[in-house]
Structure 1
Protein backbone atom coordinates (compact mmCIF):
# COMPACT_ATOMS: atom_id res chain seq x y z
CA UNK A 1 0.00 0.00 0.00
CA UNK A 2 1.32 3.41 -0.99
CA UNK A 3 0.94 6.05 1.74
CA UNK A 4 2.56 8.86 -0.18
CA UNK A 5 0.04 11.53 -1.14
CA UNK A 6 1.37 15.09 -0.79
CA UNK A 7 -0.10 17.13 2.08
CA UNK A 8 -3.52 18.61 1.36
CA UNK A 9 -5.92 20.75 3.38
CA UNK A 10 -9.60 20.25 4.19
CA UNK A 11 -11.88 22.37 6.38
CA UNK A 12 -14.60 21.20 8.75
CA UNK A 13 -17.16 22.64 11.14
CA UNK A 14 -16.64 19.81 13.62
CA UNK A 15 -14.78 16.55 14.27
CA UNK A 16 -16.23 13.32 15.66
CA UNK A 17 -13.70 10.82 17.01
CA UNK A 18 -14.21 7.14 17.54
CA UNK A 19 -12.35 5.99 20.66
CA UNK A 20 -10.68 2.59 20.45
CA UNK A 21 -8.39 2.32 17.45
CA UNK A 22 -8.65 6.06 16.83
CA UNK A 23 -7.59 7.77 20.06
CA UNK A 24 -6.28 4.75 21.97
CA UNK A 25 -5.22 1.21 21.11
CA UNK A 26 -6.51 -1.17 23.75
CA UNK A 27 -6.35 -4.30 21.59
CA UNK A 28 -4.19 -6.26 24.03
CA UNK A 29 -6.49 -5.34 26.90
CA UNK A 30 -9.63 -6.19 24.93
CA UNK A 31 -8.26 -9.62 24.00
CA UNK A 32 -7.64 -10.42 27.68
CA UNK A 33 -11.02 -8.96 28.59
CA UNK A 34 -13.01 -10.99 26.08
CA UNK A 35 -11.20 -14.17 27.05
CA UNK A 36 -12.31 -13.60 30.64
CA UNK A 37 -15.87 -12.70 29.65
CA UNK A 38 -16.09 -15.49 27.07
CA UNK A 39 -15.12 -18.08 29.65
CA UNK A 40 -17.58 -16.54 32.11
CA UNK A 41 -20.54 -16.72 29.72
CA UNK A 42 -19.52 -19.97 28.02
CA UNK A 43 -18.71 -18.54 24.58
CA UNK A 44 -15.46 -19.13 22.68
CA UNK A 45 -13.49 -15.87 23.09
CA UNK A 46 -12.11 -16.19 19.56
CA UNK A 47 -15.66 -16.13 18.18
CA UNK A 48 -16.28 -12.89 20.06
CA UNK A 49 -13.01 -11.28 18.95
CA UNK A 50 -13.64 -12.00 15.27
CA UNK A 51 -16.57 -9.59 15.18
CA UNK A 52 -16.39 -7.43 18.30
CA UNK A 53 -14.28 -4.47 17.17
CA UNK A 54 -16.30 -1.32 16.58
CA UNK A 55 -19.50 -2.91 17.86
CA UNK A 56 -21.29 -2.44 21.17
CA UNK A 57 -20.87 -5.19 23.75
CA UNK A 58 -24.61 -5.25 24.33
CA UNK A 59 -25.21 -5.99 20.63
CA UNK A 60 -22.69 -8.84 20.77
CA UNK A 61 -24.28 -10.26 23.89
CA UNK A 62 -27.79 -10.14 22.41
CA UNK A 63 -26.56 -12.76 19.94
CA UNK A 64 -24.06 -14.73 22.01
CA UNK A 65 -25.49 -14.60 25.54
CA UNK A 66 -28.92 -12.89 25.65
CA UNK A 67 -29.31 -13.30 29.40
CA UNK A 68 -26.27 -11.02 29.86
CA UNK A 69 -27.46 -8.39 27.39
CA UNK A 70 -28.41 -5.71 29.89
CA UNK A 71 -26.80 -2.37 30.67
CA UNK A 72 -26.04 -3.19 34.29
CA UNK A 73 -23.87 -6.15 33.29
CA UNK A 74 -22.28 -4.40 30.30
CA UNK A 75 -21.36 -1.25 32.23
CA UNK A 76 -19.90 -3.30 35.10
CA UNK A 77 -18.00 -5.59 32.75
CA UNK A 78 -16.59 -2.76 30.63
CA UNK A 79 -15.80 -0.63 33.67
CA UNK A 80 -13.42 -3.35 34.88
CA UNK A 81 -11.40 -3.30 31.65
CA UNK A 82 -9.29 -0.15 32.27
CA UNK A 83 -8.94 -1.05 35.95
CA UNK A 84 -7.64 -4.56 35.31
CA UNK A 85 -5.73 -3.99 32.08
CA UNK A 86 -4.78 -0.32 32.19
CA UNK A 87 -1.15 -1.07 31.38
CA UNK A 88 -2.15 -2.76 28.13
CA UNK A 89 -3.46 0.35 26.34
CA UNK A 90 -1.46 2.98 24.47
CA UNK A 91 -2.25 6.18 22.61
CA UNK A 92 -2.71 6.13 18.87
CA UNK A 93 0.26 8.13 17.51
CA UNK A 94 -0.73 11.75 16.97
CA UNK A 95 -4.01 11.57 18.89
CA UNK A 96 -3.02 13.60 21.94
CA UNK A 97 -1.37 16.35 19.87
CA UNK A 98 -4.43 16.69 17.63
CA UNK A 99 -6.86 16.83 20.56
CA UNK A 100 -4.69 19.40 22.37
CA UNK A 101 -4.64 21.72 19.34
CA UNK A 102 -8.40 21.39 18.85
CA UNK A 103 -9.05 22.21 22.51
CA UNK A 104 -6.67 25.20 22.39
CA UNK A 105 -8.57 26.49 19.35
CA UNK A 106 -11.99 25.96 21.00
CA UNK A 107 -12.93 23.78 18.04
CA UNK A 108 -16.04 21.60 17.99
CA UNK A 109 -15.21 17.96 18.69
CA UNK A 110 -16.72 14.96 20.39
CA UNK A 111 -16.04 11.31 21.06
CA UNK A 112 -18.56 8.92 19.51
CA UNK A 113 -17.89 5.38 20.68
CA UNK A 114 -19.40 1.92 20.97
CA UNK A 115 -18.06 1.73 24.52
CA UNK A 116 -20.00 2.57 27.66
CA UNK A 117 -19.37 5.59 29.88
CA UNK A 118 -17.38 3.59 32.48
CA UNK A 119 -15.13 2.21 29.71
CA UNK A 120 -14.50 5.54 27.98
CA UNK A 121 -13.93 7.61 31.10
CA UNK A 122 -11.80 4.83 32.57
CA UNK A 123 -9.44 4.80 29.60
CA UNK A 124 -9.24 8.60 29.39
CA UNK A 125 -8.33 8.72 33.08
CA UNK A 126 -5.75 5.91 32.85
CA UNK A 127 -4.01 7.53 29.88
CA UNK A 128 -4.56 11.08 31.16
CA UNK A 129 -6.21 12.13 27.92
CA UNK A 130 -8.64 15.08 27.74
CA UNK A 131 -12.31 14.43 28.42
CA UNK A 132 -14.58 15.85 25.73
CA UNK A 133 -17.38 18.26 26.54
CA UNK A 134 -19.54 16.16 24.22
CA UNK A 135 -19.67 12.38 24.44
CA UNK A 136 -21.81 9.79 22.67
CA UNK A 137 -21.55 6.27 24.11
CA UNK A 138 -23.15 2.86 23.72
CA UNK A 139 -25.92 3.87 26.11
CA UNK A 140 -26.78 6.98 24.06
CA UNK A 141 -28.49 5.28 21.11
CA UNK A 142 -30.88 2.42 20.45
CA UNK A 143 -28.80 1.01 17.59
CA UNK A 144 -25.02 0.79 17.45
CA UNK A 145 -22.62 1.17 14.53
CA UNK A 146 -22.92 0.73 11.54
CA UNK A 147 -26.26 2.47 12.19
CA UNK A 148 -25.74 6.25 11.74
CA UNK A 149 -27.65 7.18 14.93
CA UNK A 150 -24.51 7.74 17.02
CA UNK A 151 -22.92 10.12 14.53
CA UNK A 152 -26.22 11.93 13.99
CA UNK A 153 -26.33 12.47 17.75
CA UNK A 154 -22.70 13.55 17.78
CA UNK A 155 -23.49 16.22 15.18
CA UNK A 156 -26.43 17.42 17.27
CA UNK A 157 -24.24 17.65 20.39
CA UNK A 158 -21.87 19.92 18.46
CA UNK A 159 -24.81 22.22 17.73
CA UNK A 160 -24.74 21.50 14.00
CA UNK A 161 -27.67 20.76 11.70
CA UNK A 162 -28.22 17.91 9.23
CA UNK A 163 -27.25 20.35 6.47
CA UNK A 164 -23.80 20.56 8.08
CA UNK A 165 -23.15 16.81 7.91
CA UNK A 166 -20.89 16.97 4.86
CA UNK A 167 -18.74 19.50 6.71
CA UNK A 168 -18.12 17.19 9.65
CA UNK A 169 -15.17 14.79 9.77
CA UNK A 170 -15.58 11.38 11.37
CA UNK A 171 -12.29 9.71 12.38
CA UNK A 172 -12.66 5.93 12.51
CA UNK A 173 -10.71 2.68 12.30
CA UNK A 174 -13.36 -0.03 12.03
CA UNK A 175 -15.41 -0.84 8.92
CA UNK A 176 -18.60 -0.68 11.02
CA UNK A 177 -17.69 2.79 12.27
CA UNK A 178 -16.67 4.04 8.83
CA UNK A 179 -20.00 2.92 7.39
CA UNK A 180 -21.79 4.58 10.30
CA UNK A 181 -20.10 7.90 9.58
CA UNK A 182 -20.79 7.69 5.87
CA UNK A 183 -24.44 6.78 6.50
CA UNK A 184 -24.69 9.93 8.66
CA UNK A 185 -23.59 11.98 5.64
CA UNK A 186 -20.20 12.92 7.08
CA UNK A 187 -16.77 12.86 5.55
CA UNK A 188 -14.76 9.97 7.01
CA UNK A 189 -11.05 9.54 7.60
CA UNK A 190 -10.14 5.87 7.99
CA UNK A 191 -7.20 4.81 10.16
CA UNK A 192 -5.33 1.58 9.51
CA UNK A 193 -4.75 0.76 13.17
CA UNK A 194 -6.96 -2.27 13.83
CA UNK A 195 -7.88 -3.59 10.38
CA UNK A 196 -6.02 -4.10 7.12
CA UNK A 197 -5.89 -1.32 4.57
CA UNK A 198 -8.00 -3.52 2.30
CA UNK A 199 -10.72 -3.85 4.95
CA UNK A 200 -10.70 -0.12 5.63
CA UNK A 201 -10.77 0.68 1.91
CA UNK A 202 -13.74 -1.65 1.38
CA UNK A 203 -15.78 0.44 3.85
CA UNK A 204 -15.28 3.43 1.52
CA UNK A 205 -13.97 6.26 3.72
CA UNK A 206 -13.06 9.52 1.99
CA UNK A 207 -9.39 9.26 2.98
CA UNK A 208 -7.14 6.66 4.61
CA UNK A 209 -4.06 7.22 6.78
CA UNK A 210 -1.96 4.99 9.00
CA UNK A 211 -2.66 6.98 12.17
CA UNK A 212 -3.21 10.51 13.46
CA UNK A 213 0.39 11.57 12.95
CA UNK A 214 -0.87 12.32 9.43
CA UNK A 215 -3.46 14.84 10.68
CA UNK A 216 -2.60 18.33 11.93
CA UNK A 217 -4.76 21.38 12.54
CA UNK A 218 -3.26 24.30 10.63
CA UNK A 219 -5.93 26.99 11.03
CA UNK A 220 -9.01 27.81 13.05
CA UNK A 221 -11.72 30.36 12.29
CA UNK A 222 -13.84 32.53 14.57
CA UNK A 223 -16.93 30.48 13.66
CA UNK A 224 -15.32 27.36 15.17
CA UNK A 225 -14.34 25.78 11.87
CA UNK A 226 -10.88 24.27 11.51
CA UNK A 227 -8.61 23.47 8.60
CA UNK A 228 -6.68 20.24 8.79
CA UNK A 229 -3.61 19.20 6.87
CA UNK A 230 -3.62 15.52 5.92
CA UNK A 231 -0.37 13.98 4.77
CA UNK A 232 0.88 10.54 3.75
CA UNK A 233 -2.60 9.33 2.90
CA UNK A 234 -3.15 6.15 0.95
CA UNK A 235 -2.76 6.93 -2.73
CA UNK A 236 -6.09 5.25 -3.46
CA UNK A 237 -7.76 7.80 -1.17
CA UNK A 238 -6.19 10.92 -2.65
CA UNK A 239 -8.01 14.23 -2.06
CA UNK A 240 -11.14 13.77 -4.12
CA UNK A 241 -13.27 16.17 -2.10
CA UNK A 242 -12.91 19.20 0.16
CA UNK A 243 -14.52 19.44 3.56
CA UNK A 244 -16.29 22.63 2.44
Structure 2
Protein backbone atom coordinates (compact mmCIF):
# COMPACT_ATOMS: atom_id res chain seq x y z
CA UNK A 1 0.00 0.00 0.00
CA UNK A 2 1.25 3.45 -0.95
CA UNK A 3 0.84 6.20 1.68
CA UNK A 4 1.98 9.01 -0.58
CA UNK A 5 -1.13 11.01 -1.51
CA UNK A 6 -0.36 14.75 -1.78
CA UNK A 7 -1.31 16.71 1.35
CA UNK A 8 -4.81 18.19 1.34
CA UNK A 9 -7.00 20.18 3.71
CA UNK A 10 -10.57 19.54 4.87
CA UNK A 11 -12.74 21.65 7.17
CA UNK A 12 -15.03 20.29 9.90
CA UNK A 13 -17.27 21.53 12.68
CA UNK A 14 -16.34 18.74 15.11
CA UNK A 15 -14.25 15.60 15.53
CA UNK A 16 -15.47 12.34 17.05
CA UNK A 17 -12.67 9.97 18.07
CA UNK A 18 -12.91 6.27 18.61
CA UNK A 19 -10.71 5.19 21.54
CA UNK A 20 -8.89 1.89 21.15
CA UNK A 21 -6.90 1.70 17.94
CA UNK A 22 -7.44 5.41 17.31
CA UNK A 23 -6.14 7.22 20.42
CA UNK A 24 -4.50 4.31 22.22
CA UNK A 25 -3.32 0.82 21.32
CA UNK A 26 -4.24 -1.58 24.11
CA UNK A 27 -4.10 -4.71 21.96
CA UNK A 28 -1.67 -6.55 24.24
CA UNK A 29 -3.81 -5.75 27.27
CA UNK A 30 -7.05 -6.73 25.52
CA UNK A 31 -5.58 -10.08 24.44
CA UNK A 32 -4.66 -10.87 28.06
CA UNK A 33 -8.06 -9.63 29.21
CA UNK A 34 -10.04 -11.82 26.80
CA UNK A 35 -7.91 -14.85 27.61
CA UNK A 36 -8.90 -14.41 31.25
CA UNK A 37 -12.58 -13.83 30.43
CA UNK A 38 -12.61 -16.67 27.89
CA UNK A 39 -11.43 -19.13 30.50
CA UNK A 40 -14.00 -17.78 32.95
CA UNK A 41 -16.94 -18.21 30.58
CA UNK A 42 -15.65 -21.36 28.86
CA UNK A 43 -15.10 -19.87 25.39
CA UNK A 44 -11.92 -20.10 23.32
CA UNK A 45 -10.27 -16.64 23.66
CA UNK A 46 -9.11 -16.78 20.04
CA UNK A 47 -12.72 -17.06 18.91
CA UNK A 48 -13.57 -13.93 20.91
CA UNK A 49 -10.57 -11.98 19.61
CA UNK A 50 -11.45 -12.69 15.99
CA UNK A 51 -14.60 -10.58 16.22
CA UNK A 52 -14.34 -8.41 19.34
CA UNK A 53 -12.43 -5.35 18.09
CA UNK A 54 -14.62 -2.29 17.77
CA UNK A 55 -17.59 -4.03 19.38
CA UNK A 56 -19.01 -3.68 22.88
CA UNK A 57 -18.22 -6.42 25.39
CA UNK A 58 -21.89 -6.65 26.31
CA UNK A 59 -22.78 -7.43 22.68
CA UNK A 60 -20.13 -10.15 22.56
CA UNK A 61 -21.38 -11.64 25.82
CA UNK A 62 -24.99 -11.69 24.60
CA UNK A 63 -23.79 -14.22 22.03
CA UNK A 64 -21.11 -16.09 23.97
CA UNK A 65 -22.35 -16.05 27.56
CA UNK A 66 -25.79 -14.44 27.93
CA UNK A 67 -25.85 -14.84 31.71
CA UNK A 68 -22.86 -12.46 31.92
CA UNK A 69 -24.36 -9.88 29.55
CA UNK A 70 -25.19 -7.21 32.12
CA UNK A 71 -23.63 -3.83 32.84
CA UNK A 72 -22.54 -4.68 36.37
CA UNK A 73 -20.38 -7.54 35.08
CA UNK A 74 -19.07 -5.62 32.05
CA UNK A 75 -18.18 -2.46 33.97
CA UNK A 76 -16.41 -4.46 36.65
CA UNK A 77 -14.37 -6.61 34.26
CA UNK A 78 -13.46 -3.69 31.97
CA UNK A 79 -12.60 -1.46 34.91
CA UNK A 80 -9.98 -3.99 35.98
CA UNK A 81 -8.28 -4.01 32.58
CA UNK A 82 -6.26 -0.75 32.91
CA UNK A 83 -5.47 -1.58 36.54
CA UNK A 84 -4.10 -5.03 35.76
CA UNK A 85 -2.52 -4.34 32.37
CA UNK A 86 -1.84 -0.61 32.39
CA UNK A 87 1.72 -1.08 31.20
CA UNK A 88 0.55 -2.84 28.05
CA UNK A 89 -1.12 0.18 26.42
CA UNK A 90 0.57 2.89 24.35
CA UNK A 91 -0.57 5.99 22.51
CA UNK A 92 -1.32 5.83 18.81
CA UNK A 93 1.38 7.95 17.12
CA UNK A 94 0.18 11.53 16.71
CA UNK A 95 -2.85 11.18 19.00
CA UNK A 96 -1.67 13.29 21.93
CA UNK A 97 -0.39 16.16 19.79
CA UNK A 98 -3.63 16.29 17.77
CA UNK A 99 -5.79 16.30 20.91
CA UNK A 100 -3.62 18.98 22.53
CA UNK A 101 -3.93 21.19 19.45
CA UNK A 102 -7.71 20.79 19.37
CA UNK A 103 -7.99 21.65 23.06
CA UNK A 104 -5.76 24.70 22.64
CA UNK A 105 -7.96 25.83 19.73
CA UNK A 106 -11.15 25.19 21.75
CA UNK A 107 -12.42 22.98 18.96
CA UNK A 108 -15.39 20.66 19.35
CA UNK A 109 -14.29 17.06 19.94
CA UNK A 110 -15.10 14.06 22.07
CA UNK A 111 -14.55 10.33 22.34
CA UNK A 112 -17.16 7.84 21.09
CA UNK A 113 -16.18 4.34 22.13
CA UNK A 114 -17.41 0.78 22.49
CA UNK A 115 -15.66 0.61 25.85
CA UNK A 116 -17.43 1.17 29.14
CA UNK A 117 -16.96 4.31 31.21
CA UNK A 118 -14.64 2.61 33.77
CA UNK A 119 -12.48 1.26 30.93
CA UNK A 120 -12.17 4.56 29.09
CA UNK A 121 -11.53 6.68 32.16
CA UNK A 122 -9.06 4.07 33.38
CA UNK A 123 -7.00 4.26 30.19
CA UNK A 124 -7.14 8.06 30.02
CA UNK A 125 -5.90 8.20 33.61
CA UNK A 126 -3.12 5.63 33.12
CA UNK A 127 -1.83 7.33 29.97
CA UNK A 128 -2.51 10.86 31.26
CA UNK A 129 -4.52 11.76 28.18
CA UNK A 130 -7.16 14.55 28.09
CA UNK A 131 -10.63 13.76 29.34
CA UNK A 132 -13.47 15.07 27.13
CA UNK A 133 -16.57 16.45 28.80
CA UNK A 134 -19.05 14.85 26.40
CA UNK A 135 -17.85 11.25 26.46
CA UNK A 136 -20.00 8.62 24.71
CA UNK A 137 -19.39 5.09 26.06
CA UNK A 138 -20.85 1.63 25.62
CA UNK A 139 -23.49 2.34 28.27
CA UNK A 140 -24.71 5.45 26.41
CA UNK A 141 -26.63 3.64 23.65
CA UNK A 142 -28.88 0.62 23.27
CA UNK A 143 -27.02 -0.72 20.22
CA UNK A 144 -23.28 -0.67 19.65
CA UNK A 145 -21.22 -0.19 16.50
CA UNK A 146 -21.81 -0.65 13.56
CA UNK A 147 -25.15 0.88 14.57
CA UNK A 148 -24.89 4.69 14.05
CA UNK A 149 -26.52 5.61 17.38
CA UNK A 150 -23.24 6.30 19.21
CA UNK A 151 -21.92 8.76 16.62
CA UNK A 152 -25.30 10.45 16.30
CA UNK A 153 -25.26 10.86 20.08
CA UNK A 154 -21.72 12.24 19.93
CA UNK A 155 -22.86 14.88 17.45
CA UNK A 156 -25.86 15.73 19.63
CA UNK A 157 -23.73 16.08 22.77
CA UNK A 158 -21.49 18.55 20.96
CA UNK A 159 -24.55 20.68 20.24
CA UNK A 160 -24.75 20.09 16.50
CA UNK A 161 -27.94 19.32 14.54
CA UNK A 162 -28.39 16.31 12.21
CA UNK A 163 -27.98 18.65 9.23
CA UNK A 164 -24.32 19.14 10.26
CA UNK A 165 -23.50 15.43 10.23
CA UNK A 166 -21.53 15.63 6.99
CA UNK A 167 -19.38 18.37 8.53
CA UNK A 168 -18.25 16.09 11.35
CA UNK A 169 -15.16 13.90 11.13
CA UNK A 170 -15.19 10.46 12.71
CA UNK A 171 -11.72 8.98 13.32
CA UNK A 172 -11.86 5.18 13.41
CA UNK A 173 -9.72 2.07 12.99
CA UNK A 174 -12.21 -0.79 12.96
CA UNK A 175 -14.54 -1.72 10.10
CA UNK A 176 -17.49 -1.76 12.52
CA UNK A 177 -16.66 1.74 13.70
CA UNK A 178 -16.10 3.06 10.19
CA UNK A 179 -19.50 1.74 9.11
CA UNK A 180 -21.06 3.28 12.22
CA UNK A 181 -19.66 6.71 11.40
CA UNK A 182 -20.75 6.49 7.76
CA UNK A 183 -24.24 5.35 8.77
CA UNK A 184 -24.49 8.40 11.05
CA UNK A 185 -23.89 10.59 8.00
CA UNK A 186 -20.41 11.72 9.04
CA UNK A 187 -17.16 11.87 7.10
CA UNK A 188 -14.79 9.12 8.25
CA UNK A 189 -11.02 8.92 8.43
CA UNK A 190 -9.87 5.30 8.59
CA UNK A 191 -6.66 4.45 10.45
CA UNK A 192 -4.63 1.36 9.57
CA UNK A 193 -3.62 0.53 13.14
CA UNK A 194 -5.54 -2.61 14.07
CA UNK A 195 -6.74 -3.99 10.73
CA UNK A 196 -5.18 -4.34 7.31
CA UNK A 197 -5.48 -1.56 4.77
CA UNK A 198 -7.69 -3.86 2.69
CA UNK A 199 -10.09 -4.38 5.62
CA UNK A 200 -10.21 -0.65 6.35
CA UNK A 201 -10.79 0.22 2.70
CA UNK A 202 -13.57 -2.39 2.42
CA UNK A 203 -15.51 -0.50 5.12
CA UNK A 204 -15.47 2.54 2.77
CA UNK A 205 -14.15 5.45 4.84
CA UNK A 206 -13.71 8.77 3.06
CA UNK A 207 -9.96 8.83 3.63
CA UNK A 208 -7.32 6.42 4.92
CA UNK A 209 -4.06 7.14 6.77
CA UNK A 210 -1.63 4.97 8.68
CA UNK A 211 -2.10 6.77 12.02
CA UNK A 212 -2.64 10.25 13.48
CA UNK A 213 0.84 11.46 12.64
CA UNK A 214 -0.71 12.20 9.25
CA UNK A 215 -3.29 14.60 10.71
CA UNK A 216 -2.58 18.15 11.87
CA UNK A 217 -4.61 21.23 12.76
CA UNK A 218 -4.03 24.03 10.25
CA UNK A 219 -6.37 26.81 11.36
CA UNK A 220 -9.46 27.67 13.35
CA UNK A 221 -12.37 29.86 12.27
CA UNK A 222 -14.02 30.85 15.53
CA UNK A 223 -16.80 32.78 13.79
CA UNK A 224 -17.81 29.78 11.67
CA UNK A 225 -17.05 27.33 14.47
CA UNK A 226 -14.82 25.21 12.25
CA UNK A 227 -11.35 23.71 12.23
CA UNK A 228 -9.32 22.91 9.15
CA UNK A 229 -7.17 19.80 9.19
CA UNK A 230 -4.32 18.81 6.94
CA UNK A 231 -4.02 15.17 5.89
CA UNK A 232 -0.60 14.05 4.71
CA UNK A 233 0.67 10.67 3.53
CA UNK A 234 -2.82 9.31 2.94
CA UNK A 235 -3.33 6.02 1.18
CA UNK A 236 -3.43 6.36 -2.61
CA UNK A 237 -5.60 6.30 -4.54
CA UNK A 238 -8.11 7.72 -2.10
CA UNK A 239 -11.46 9.42 -2.62
CA UNK A 240 -11.30 12.96 -1.27
CA UNK A 241 -14.75 14.29 -0.54
CA UNK A 242 -13.68 17.65 0.85
CA UNK A 243 -11.52 20.50 -0.38
CA UNK A 244 -7.99 19.69 -1.47
CA UNK A 245 -4.71 21.50 -1.60
CA UNK A 246 -1.26 20.29 -2.49
TM bucket (normalised to shorter chain) is: over 0.9
CA contact (8 A) 2:8 2:243 kept: no
Query: Which stretches in structure 1 are left out of the alignment for 5+ residues?
Result: none
Alpha-carbon displacement from aligned partner over 1:131-177 (angstroms, at most 9, x marks no partner): 01110000000000000000000000110000000000000000000
Q: What residue ranges of structure 2 are gaps of 5+ in the alignment? A: none
Residue number in structure 2 paired with 1:134:
134
Distance between the aligned counterparts of 2:237 and 2:40, measured in 1?
43
Aligned twin of 1:23: 23
Q: CA deviation at 1:239?
A: 2.3
Distance in 1 of aligned mates of 2:120 and 2:103:
18
Q: Runs of at least 4 residues of structure 1 off by over 2 A?
A: 238-243
Q: Does 1:165 align with 2:165?
A: yes
Determine the C-alpha separation between the residues in 2 that align with 1:237 and 1:35: 37
- Partner Cα separation in structure 1 for residue 134 and residue 238 of structure 2: 29
The worse-fitting range, judged by mean Cα deviation, of 72-81 and 223-232 is: 223-232
Structure 1 residue 46 and structure 2 residue 46: aligned? yes
- CA–CA distance in structure 1, aligned partners of residues 134 and 198 of structure 2: 32
* 1:8-29: CA deviation from partner (whole Å, max 9, x where unpaired): 0000000000000000000000
Equivalent residue of 1:53, what SS? coil
For residue 13 of structure 2, what is the aligned residue in structure 1?
13
Q: Which residue of 1 aligns with 2:34?
A: 34
TM-score scaled by structure 2? 0.97
Taking structure 1 as the reference length, what is the TM-score of the superposition?
A: 0.98
Aligned pairs, number: 243
Answer yes or no: is the 8 Å Cα contact 1:106–1:224 preserved in 2.
Answer: no
